[in-house]
Chain A
Amino acid sequence: MELDAIRDTYFAECADQLSELETGLFSISSDGVDAETVNSVFRAVHSIKGGAGAFALDELVSFAHVFENALDVIRNDLSQSNEDRIDLLLRSSDVLTDIVAAARDGEEPIDCSEISAELEKEFNLQPMEEEEEVEFDIVPISLDDLTIQTSAATNKFEITFAPHNELYLNGHDPQKIFRELADLGSCEIRVNTEKLSSLDKFDTSSTELSWNITIETTSLENDVRAVFEWVSDCCDLQITEDETDALASDISIDDFLGDLSDLPEVEEEDDCLGEPQESEPLTVPDEQPGIAELPDLSEVSPEPALEIVAEEPVAEVVELPAEAPKEEKPAAAKKPEPKERARASKPIRVDSEKVDRLINLMGEMVISQSMLTLQINEAGFGTASPTGLALVELQNLTREIQSSVMSIRAQPIKPVFMRMSRVVREICSATGKKAQLLLEGENTEVDTTVIEGLSDPLTHMIRNSVDHGIESVEKRVEAGKPETGEIVLSASHSSGSIVIEIRDDGAGINRQKVFEIAVEKGVIQADSKLSDEEIDNLIFAPGFSTAEEITDVSGRGVGMDVVRQSIQGLGGRVSISSTPGKGSLFTLNLPLTLAILDGMLVRTAEQMFVIPVSSMIETISLRQQDVFQIGDGNMVFKLRDQLIPIVDVGYELGFLDQPHSYEEGTILIVESGNHDMSAFLVDSIVGQQQVVIKSMESNYQRIPSIAAATILGNGRIALILDIEDIVSRKTRETPTQPVLDQIA
């Protein structure tokens, strides 16, 4: 179960890393390559790979590995970056996203062999290396001379081991090493104390102890050597197979590494490769005491050379010049990276449920505060009285807390906008058009839920803008426009809502054509008189598509009506304005948050109801002459030339036994996501206000016709009407079960 939680964390992290990856690659493709961005992109893939291994997501690991290696090529040498390669990396990031999604949803792994091969080819990558692992067990032994008998030994090694000070400083303990040795076979360990100073001269920074070990084991020399793997460069180590002169295994490399620390890796390897023949053969008698005293035991150890040769294909060595800057990287990374260091505040990951609870509580607080205000005002305290002043203070604080809490859910819209750059690139290459996307206000903060819901409709709209808006290169040249079309995607705050605009400098809407198609598709009558604006907005009508043939770009079986529905689902509205020859402008109005609703408070049947302002078209006073009864007994309202079914809210929901008299009242014309209109009849309108949304499902149960509830300043509950549900029911005319019965 705990593992499931980690899995969730992993995929949440993947989402972050993927967006980091995408953002980084875009910035490289648009602003050019820089070390810091390449590093962050590399790290993103690296982290995804790291976690994937833990969950045995092999496909993901192997693809991430190739991807990472490709990025490493650029990381090591920024001049290796070019447009084609970045394009390939962008496509790889798409594939990685898909693989992660498949892994998350437990679907069949996606076949990525093709793009893997492409990456390997483009970046001249070597096939994946086998990575070594450490493995050992522990057998407790004492530090004193000891002999542990094990099974029949076939090899006998003489080991002299003289730790340097670094060995201790690096947190090693010789005793631990002996335990591991003892595990390999029978050991005889003798400590050399000859060099040990007397206590009065004892220097804690000098290393005066050394050991001579004889081990009889079935293991090979490499296994014995492996025990010293972590300490090989901070001790004098000599391992000789008994009765042979295997002097090549002498080790003393601390001086060597000390000199080497500032040198590029290339030299290390060169030295190593060249050294074994030159290294002075040393004959150190097995029993010779004071080995620690021999710092010049050998200047250079062949051991690392052997290791390197063994580990890495020769081809790696040939490639070394390209890798040389590798050594400089960590040094550069050491310097404070202004961009990263300046970020004093660090984001924390919080369960969104906790934030929702906070927002909920904040809503409660707003309500309590307005109740208190009501009470205090009724009690006759003036605004200048101490109570009144304290109240004003409380109101200010509440407002501030409200906006702070709301801002927790808010995130810059940038990631979604960045994604659109790729959409434009893809469509341009699919259609042969030229267009560039300019972003404005991409740091505008929007509620996360809104951001999530925006991705699909925006993608569709951007596709649409390139496919239908921007003209072909020839036509643009003919019209005296620059070859490359321009699409501006902008976001801004405007009086409690977010405004997103998509502006293109394309041909604009061909109204004649739109009108003809709408008639042909039966969306409007041939004799309809429509304003330019109304014609433009026809493209949002269900089933409408202006493309003469459905292209694989924007025509994917969904039209702009789906876009409109998605936006309305987010509590927003979308509209278009267009100038023929100059371009089109789509405007999206979205709520700042889904936790608070801009509501119209209405009264009917002695109840208060809230109608979302985003669904309202207009309000009209009821006049009896505008109400008609049609054949089936239903009432309709005549708005100009249109007949709109009346929804008598109080009666419909079961709060009234008798239908409204239709003599007086107010009509609110509302529109559902699929453009069905209804005329909601209420007694009166109380006013427009922001209400905190309280879910009915989580507090009570789902009730048809009711979207949610809210608590008003006077402590009373008002139900928020589910416009979609009511309007579609009215259109279908299915009998309803009165709401009141269900609540009671």
Chain B
Amino acid sequence: MSKGHGIRFDPRTKLLLLLLCALCAATAPSLVYEFGLVGMIALLGFFSGRRRYPLIGLAVYAVIFALTKAALSGSGTTFQTTLIAFLGLVHKVYPCGFLAGILISTTRVSEFLCAMHKIHAPKSLTIPMAVMLRYLPTIREDWGFIKDAMRLRDVSPSLKGLVAHPGMTVECLYVPLMMSASRAADELSIASVTRGIENPAPRTCLIQIRLGLADLLAAFCFAAYFIAGRFG
């Protein structure tokens, strides 16, 4: 899943960066500060090997920035208040979402799970998390089959169908999916239990992740930015 040729950051660093980004966004002293944060994230994106995505993200933020400035200079109508509250949320969420997009697309699932092991997350979290990440694409496949079946039976869910036959529409949506999930749970547990997943010894990982200079630098930059914003 890694795009382009860039620096590979350790997944633990990525989690730390997300945390720092959230802190920066939560304690941001001004909009310009946030713009700076988004800029840093775009830079990180370039270093990670992404090309178009950081540019698009930066451009979109510039538009939002301009919109916010315009909204703030208006009169105190209720709509404006609502709009400002909404924009407030956007400004808090945007940097993290932007960063998340870069991090997720440059991390392989196996690396992420290995990182969770290395930080000694309990098995009761790592196993369900691994299964979650592995099952999400399966849901899309299943849904494709179910949609086909529904079209053949002429029971496609629509707003009209929901009003006219609520029970039937609900059953269409849930029943095959839940049944399939239940079967998958059984078969997947059998396949994992017969390969020793219950072994109490701590698992090792085929993928090796290692903290490097790039990780330290990135973490330092964001931490410094946070401190500068808080106390500067």
Query: Do A and B come together as binding partners?
Result: no
Chain B residues with CB under 8 Å of chain A are none
